[in-house]
């Protein structure tokens, strides 16, 4: 099955700086890569996703990049704000399969 590795496990950044989280996947058939944000005491929520036919996708301060050859994808958060503090999960799947394989998560802390 698919194996997704996520780094770093914790990330502390100064407010206004950028944060980058990286993930690698093992199954070359995977073609759907979502990112979920989990706030304290809540369930994860989708913040952005990318398909394998796209190399980069942006949504305001959030961007995701994908390198299919190297089988890795990254989440970039610019101009971080205190409300960006949360646990972020990457995931991978084949779009024809609803099952997601998640990374272990990254705890992001934005220092004021």
Partner 1 sequence: DAGITQSPRYKITETGRQVTLMCHQTWSHSYMFWYRQDLGHGLRLIYYSAAADITDKGEVPDGYVVSRSKTENFPLTLESATRSQTSVYFCASSERSSGSYEQYFGPGTRLTVT
> What is the rounded distance in angstroms from the CA atom of residue 10 to the CA atom of residue 85?
11
**Nearest C-alpha neighbor of 88 from the set 26, 4, 10, 3:** 10
What backbone phi and psi angles, to 5 degrees, belong to 84? Answer: -80, -10
Check residue 30 for interaction with partner 1 (CB under 8 A).
no
> What is the rounded distance in angstroms from the CA atom of residue 2 to the CA atom of residue 94?
9
Among 19, 24, 25, 34, binds partner 1 (CB under 8 A): 34
Check residue 43 for interaction with partner 1 (CB under 8 A).
yes
Nearer to partner 1, 78 or 109 (CB): 109
Taking each continuous run of H as one helix and of E as one strand, the counts in the chain are 0, 11
Check residue 89 for interaction with partner 1 (CB under 8 A).
yes
**How many of the chain's residues bind partner 1 (CB under 8 A)?**
25
Sites of contact with partner 1 (CB under 8 A): 1, 4, 6, 9, 32, 34, 36, 41-46, 49, 89, 93, 95, 98-105
């Amino acid at each position: 099955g698919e194996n997704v590795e996520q780094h770093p496990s914790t990330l502390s950044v100064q407010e206004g700086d950028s944060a980058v989280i990286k993930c690698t996947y093992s199954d070359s058939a995977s073609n759907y890569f979502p990112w979920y944000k989990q706030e304290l005491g809540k369930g994860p929520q989708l913040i952005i996703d990318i398909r394998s036919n796209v190399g980069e996708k942006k949504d305001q301060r959030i961007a995701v990049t994908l390198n299919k050859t190297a089988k890795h994808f990254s989440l970039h958060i610019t101009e971080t704000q205190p409300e960006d503090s949360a646990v972020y999960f990457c995931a991978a799947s084949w779009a024809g399969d609803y099952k997601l394989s998640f990374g272990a998560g990254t705890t992001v802390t934005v220092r004021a």
